[in-house]
Structure 1
């Protein structure tokens, strides 16, 4: 509605407000929003105060563009993405903003429009309902399929699988697995081995294989990731570190400790030994709770010192202190002797080093 028409409509009750006043007010609103939006972009660049800046840009922009404009929907999405908290209130606020954006975009472009995808994904990410999330993700994949762009379909399937695995397994395990397999089939057939999507897909599919105890298949996937990084990068990467770590656990589960050793050594070269009281094991077995102590409701603790040898095996375990009796000590020692570590390196050579750990035994009451 143009300013002079709006002034005429209001002149019966607010005759003191002139057309020029409305024009000035609109100009001021536009100026305030423009400044707020620039502040938001700067906040994103500096990664400081993003949520506050996004909220102000959204509130001012909604006044400028109106409740039903695409720009208002996009500002709502920006604000939702800027809310970084993970408590119930933050999640509910994000969902509310994504839903508002979806309603605007669906009304303007249609429920099956590509414009609604970000809002649908945001709603699925912030709902507590597994069924609702699955329905929203299914709609996203259907929209992608209507575009007849196979790569986009695969990307949306992978996004759906990743979200379901993160938030809604085991309820939606089958759906997650189906989406992951569909995306992986496309990636393997159409993308080079060193594509980021292939690497992410290998990680996800390896986790499914491990869950079904298909350890050989999971190992093949993870070894492929390690090979890609070895062949294509001259520096260490967190994904490579994660692949080595997962391979250690998988080989140990299969009783192939020697195969795990090369991955212990690889991690040792990537992550320097920290001279700390407790080193973090790359693979650990939880101790059994002594049955007699469990029946008695007794707690206990054991502090041990041991050597991590040049291959990352635990050797020469000794008890420094314990509370609760020798059965706790026996159980703790038996467990720790199966752990694997990254050995200490000195001058590029693995050496034996001592470390300590404390295990606490507590009955849940």
Structure 2
């Protein structure tokens, strides 16, 4: 005798099959995400295709973990950090990812939790509103202040100072300066002179001093950077190279060319010259546009050859060719003779070298 399946049994059989299929799909999704996340880690290690890998991991991960999970928030932050470019649209996309991460983490841990700091900093970096950026940064510093870790507070104050001074300087100059002074005071009192924090702080303090034409204060801070590498760190670093370069300009602005020479020579030793390498000025003065040429809207150009001596000074300028008249030649030579270079080195010693430059004069 053949038994008929009841509708209930048939329904149960269908439900079992459906649940099995869903479980299989879930397993496949988890495996796909695991592969994508491993690809992301590999891309980060190789520093190749990081943005694409981070996007794939985030896209798959939010379906595996759900939109309210900490993992989803962390994947969003990873993707935001991996995004390249600085267009308005890219900044909006980054901001949206950080906003998503913050919403999740604030709900799961509270809006004053340490877990929200990365997302808040990301929002501050990618908003176009100075007011919003300041609000986020104040929230970050407030959270740091609850941790009873003074260095953490100083680090967050420096982050705030750096961001505001680079992105919203005209609107938040005094706020940024206030944050910097607090962070710098802690660093100078508690950290060694060769610490990364002190070197970064010296650069930013020097930048503020230079902007206010307090050249001696800027020189003092940048000299600290140079000395930190010379006395405590047995390697050359881009920060030291940058400090030497800025010091050249500061001394030249004060009319102290001989003091600038030390830094021209230091750069020359740090950056070995290759055969036929074109020399580029470390300090330059732009030529003044001849008044009569401006009046009649005349363009011109001047190509010159000159000698860079063993101290990096420009000597023996010769005009190779020019267009527009002798007035352009005169102002071009007056400007170039004030330029400073790193001299070329040969067999470990500075040597004279010929170089060329072309200056174009164009009225826009």
CA distance in 2, matches of 1:297, 1:169: 35
Aligned to 1:76: 76
RMSD: 1.6
1:263 aligned residue = 263
2:224 is the counterpart of 1:253 = no
Q: Which residue number in structure 2 is paired with residue 294 of structure 1?
A: 294
Deviation at 1:344, TM superposition (A): 1.3
Query: Highest CA radius of gyration, 1 or 2?
Result: 2
- Determine the C-alpha separation between the residues in 2 that align with 1:48 and 1:277: 30
Question: Post-superposition shift, 1:303?
Answer: 0.6
Residue aligning to 1:38:
38
- Equivalent in the alignment of 1:54: 54
Deviations 1:77-119 (A, max 9, x none): 0111111122222222111111110111111112221111101
Once residues 278 and 322 of structure 1 are traced to their aligned partners in structure 2, the CA distance between those partners, rounded to angstroms, is 21
Q: Which runs of 5+ in 2 are unaligned?
A: 1-10
Q: Distance in 1 between matches of 2:29 and 2:284?
A: 60
The 5 A counterparts of 1:99-110 are 99-110=99-110
Give me the whole-angstrom Cα distance separating, in 2, the residues matched to 1:157 and 1:217. Answer: 21
* Contact 1:77/1:98, CA 8 A, preserved across alignment: yes
Q: Which moved more, 1:276-285 or 1:290-299?
A: 276-285
The CA deviation at 1:19 is 2.5
Alpha-carbon contact 1:278-1:357 (below 8 Å) kept? no
Q: Does 1:203 align with 2:203?
A: yes
SS in 1 for 2:169: coil
Secondary structure at the aligned position of 2:350 is classed as: strand
Asked if 2 retains the 8 angstrom alpha-carbon contact of 1:277 and 1:356, the reply is no
Deviation at 1:174, TM superposition (A): 1.4
Residue of structure 2 in register with 1:346 after alignment: 346
**Secondary structure of 1:280 counterpart:** coil
TM-score after normalising by structure 2:
0.93
What residue number does 1:22 align with? 22
Q: In the TM superposition, what is the alpha-carbon distance from 1:175 to its structure 2 partner? A: 1.7
DSSP-derived class of the 1:166 partner: helix
Moved more, 175-184 or 23-32: 23-32
Most deviating of 193-202 and 143-152: 143-152
Q: After TM superposition, where is structure 1 displaced by more than 4 Å over at least 4 residues in a row?
A: 14-17, 274-278
Rounded to whole Å, the distance in 1 between the matches of 2:216 and 2:38 is 52
| Superposed displacement of residue 279, structure 1 | 1.9
Contact 2:300 2:322 in 1 (8 A): yes
Greater alpha carbon shift after TM alignment, 178-187 vs 128-137: 128-137
**1:325 paired residue number:** 325
What is the distance in 2 between the residues matched to 1:74 and 1:277? 46
Residue 312 (structure 1) aligns with: 312
The answer to whether the Cα contact below 8 Å between 2:194 and 2:233 also exists between their aligned partners in 1 is: no
